[in-house]
Chain A
Amino acid sequence: MWSGSPLFPEAASTIASRVDAVFFFLIGVAVFFSVLIAALILRFAIKYRRRAPDAIGEVITGGVLLETIWTAVPLAIVLISFGWGASVYFAMSRPPEETLDIYVVGKQWMWKFQHLDGQREINELHVPVGRAVKLTMTSEDVIHDFFVPAFRTKADVIPGRYTTIWFEPTKAGRYQLFCAEYCGTRHSGMIGQVVVMEPTDYQAWLSGGPQEGSLASRGEKLFSDLACNTCHRPDTQGRGPALDGLFGKTVTLQGGETVTVDEAYLRQSILTPAARITAGFQPIMPTFQGLVTEEQLLELVEYVKALRSR
């Protein structure tokens, strides 16, 4: 309802109006109490101003009823705020089942995007309207933060791990993307745009870009270039675990622990293989720390994910 107002940001995702609703509730609470306190202070200050130089105030040491009320009422309000805020946060944190997956790598001072079909973009991200988009993000250097005000969502982009964020754009248009975590000299230049397109325009854009092969196919090539396939063979005869159909499964580690094979586990297994070895295998895999870039890591991860359906 406030869109277009210079005092209020545009709302262009499914979650935005839910965040705004909580925000308006809090504004109501804040205005009510600020005005109440200010009015009482001014009223008392005028009404009970000192009339004679030696006058003293009436001795009132306290009141149990009043103290109870002004403890209980704020408590009730903040608990409502907590519950409401938490339920929206829960929705923000849980992407729906079906998402359009895109990978993001932040570095000083740019955003790099990789689409599953193979398109790469810098500082500009094209997505279709009306589809839930899930970004899996990491950083090559320091902590960054992916922030699109119009979507009311934000998440840190942290070196050494994957974080995710999702949003479902509701309106075609161009929206500002900011890095919101201070990341060094040109932090304020680490900005870009999210271009939300109608689905048909998006399809046209997808097919119009340069084709370097899909992300998974680049991962497959890398998988053989790095000779991963000499140990990770599909026939379970290899020295490393077979990867077909592995993603999303729960495997037992040496020592009896279990782990669900997700992006983070794959990443760790490539960079520090000895950390969590699958039961029945030897810790013989060398580390690939420093040998693969964050983007190549994502290609490998995507390749292993693609093996899920084999």
Chain B
Amino acid sequence: MQTTVAALPPRHYLNDGFGIRSWLFTRDHKRIALLYLATITLFFFIGGAMAVLIRLELATPAGDLVTDETYNKLFTMHGVMMVFFFLIPSIPATLGNFLVPLMIGAKDLAFPKLNLLSWYIFVVGGLFTLYALISGGVDTGWTFYTPFSTISSTSKVVPTALGVFITGFSSILTGLNFIVTIHRMRAPGMTWFRMPLFLWSIYATSLIMVLGTPVIAITILLVAAERLFHFGFFDPAVGGDPVLFQHLFWFYSHPAVYIMVLPSMGVVSEVVAAFCRKPVFGYRIVAFASVAIAVLGFLVWAHHMFVAGISVYAAMIFSVLSMLVAIPSAVKVFNWTATMYRGSISWQTPMLYAMGFIGLFTIGGLTGVFLATLAVNVHVTDTYFIVAHFHYIMVGGALMGYLGGLHYWWPKISGRLYPEFLAKLSAGIIFLGFNLTFFPQFVAGYLGMPRRYHAYPPDFQVLNVLSSAGASILGVGYLIPMAYLMWSLRYGRAAGSNPFGAVGLEWMTTSPPPTENFATTPVVAWDAYDYKGEVEGRVA
């Protein structure tokens, strides 16, 4: 199965044109994916630097490293950067962009120019937000809760809000592009139920992007309008309702959590199948679970508001609906685990990340059940329990999936192999550092430590020191892949078209692929993950 090649193919998308113009005006989905990759990596490290400062400040109970004002701006910008400029675009805009056409046997996305436009929009939105950051920062929290954000904060709310607003269009266009591409451009024989599960999750994610993002866009405009022109949308002094904002905000921002984690689930399905060399257990159920999560995700927003004065009966309805999201999530976890049964399991880096994902997502998901349980929610909401929970989902889940996917497809993207030992080592460091950072926060949360506190009672110090120690380990864990992936771009061994011996259309073309992806359009006559068929020569 393994093809040994000494060199890259003579012609591929990376050497099809050189110079800055060949990148800035490209319409190739693979190059656009790399533009996104570079941009979100920058934002990731900016957001990460803020996390470092936050954890340094919290190493001692007194607010002594930075002022309270600075601290509030740090956690706000950490959230804004990580959520809107890293996690939401992370897998869809990089791996999704790169892989959607390759996986369905197409030459490009349906709208290549729109794809490039969406990157430019993303960059403009990012620049607005960076401007807000450099010109003074913003202190509302990434949630922009009113009326604080509209009548009280004196920081750069409007530029930040506009940055997020603009970026939303990039999200909408990308989602639209994926939906149309998956509907219209599948290669002959590539039926819906032959598609890799990654595409099902990207499809479900795209639905949320297209349907949900307009709501946050409008909400953010209302905030900006109230700040600038004193309209009474949310300010009770002029007849507004501050809680209305929370309904609108979470109507998007809860589904946004699934924008972040669904693509990672897709990656895990691919990686588990490839490194167990067998079909995913319960393919259709896993596919439908993605869609179910996307749909149910729109019906649970008020579980962020159980203490915000909503009625007891509304709270009960949102509690039970939130519980239902646990079902497709649990089903996926069980199906991945079952896939490993009687597999041919290779302990390579992507599989380590996938196993890490399954374990951490399980904890993140189960603590989500704690939060959906009304009585427990009242005590732990707005504490570090919440912080721990969503980092288990977003970092333990979404980011582990992203890194796993990046390693899995890196040979395809770059044509080269990364140093396997270093990669395994850093996967281990990240797993340990992550748990040391965030597990103590569950305990601190149940003890009652509120989130967004610049200074805290000394009782919580031990847990916070553990957390800060973990964060420094985690930080190292992120820098190592950054270094060796860059190194491998130049010095890595040529990967060959299919270094992992995986089944899938993307592995049937060269690494890196040619600009047009496939010399001839493939005709698909097999199901996804048909390893047996491959061995028997039916997949070709």
Contacts and interface: CB of A to CB of B under 8 A. Distances in A.
A53 B141 contact: no
A182 B326 contact: no
Contacts of A145: 307, 382
Contact of B323 (A29, A67, A82, A176): A82
Nearest to B278: A57
Given A60-B281, A71-B327, A176-B457, A187 B452 contact: yes
B270 to A, nearest CB: 15
A58 to B, nearest CB: 4
Nearest to A164: B309
Interface in A65-97: 66-67, 70-71, 74-75, 77-79, 81-82, 84-90, 92-94
A207 interface: no
Interface string B491-512: 0000000000100000000000
B517 to A, nearest CB: 26
Contacts of A70: 330-331, 334
A291 to B, nearest CB: 13
Given A87-B375, A188-B454, 16 more contacts: A9-B446, A23-B379, A30-B363, A33-B330, A37-B362, A44-B343, A48-B341, A48-B344, A49-B346, A88-B375, A153-B379, A155-B309, A180-B382, A182-B452, A185-B139, A188-B453
Contacts of A50: 277, 344-346
Interface in B117-155: 139, 141, 145, 147-148, 151-153
B68 A185 contact: yes
Contacts of B141: 182
A147 B448 contact: yes
A189 B373 CA distance: 30
4 cross-chain pairs, A with B, having the tightest CB-CB distances, nearest first? A160-B236, A149-B448, A57-B278, A85-B373
20 contacts: A22-B373, A34-B363, A37-B359, A40-B337, A48-B340, A48-B343, A57-B277, A61-B282, A61-B283, A63-B281, A70-B331, A81-B373, A149-B448, A150-B448, A152-B378, A181-B145, A182-B451, A184-B148, A185-B72, A188-B454
A82 B319 contact: yes
Interface in A1-19: 6-9, 18-19
B152 A108 contact: yes
Contact of B241 (A90, A142, A160): A160
Contact of B309 (A33, A89, A141, A163): A163
Interface residues of B, number: 97
A115 B498 CA distance: 75
Contacts of B532: 56, 59
Contacts of A45: 340, 345, 347, 351, 355
B1 to A, nearest CB: 6
B455 interface: yes
Contact of B531 (A33, A56, A81, A176): A56
B242 A187 contact: no
Interface string B266-299: 0000000000111101111100000000000000
A63 B337 CA distance: 13
B282 A67 contact: yes
Given A30-B366, A57-B278, A82-B372, A90 B312 contact: yes
Nearest to A43: B340
B315 A89 contact: yes
Interface in B53-103: 63, 68-69, 72
Contacts of A161: 236, 309
B42 interface: no
B206 to A, nearest CB: 26
Interface in B205-225: none
A179 B375 contact: no
B351 to A, nearest CB: 8
Contacts of A48: 276, 340-345
A284 interface: no
Given A57-B277, A57-B344, A22 B376 contact: yes
A32 to B, nearest CB: 9
Contacts of A142: 145, 147-148, 151-152, 242
B486 interface: no
Contacts of A33: 330, 362, 366
Contacts of A44: 337, 340-341, 343, 345
Scoring A7, A143, A147, A179 by chain B CB atoms within 10 A of each residue's CB, the highest score goes to A143
B393 to A, nearest CB: 14
A143 B141 CA distance: 13
A188 B374 CA distance: 25
Contact of A187 (B324, B383, B454): B454
B432 to A, nearest CB: 14
Given A37-B362, A59-B279, A66 B338 contact: yes
B312 to A, nearest CB: 5
A227 interface: no
Contact of B455 (A23, A75, A86, A188): A188
Contact of A188 (B279, B337, B343, B456): B456
A62 B193 CA distance: 14
Interface in B172-214: none
A155 B379 CA distance: 10
B374 A88 contact: yes
Contacts of B342: 48, 57-58, 60
B382 A154 contact: yes
Nearest to B315: A89
Interface in B434-471: 443, 446-448, 450-457, 459, 462
B375 A30 contact: no
B417 to A, nearest CB: 16
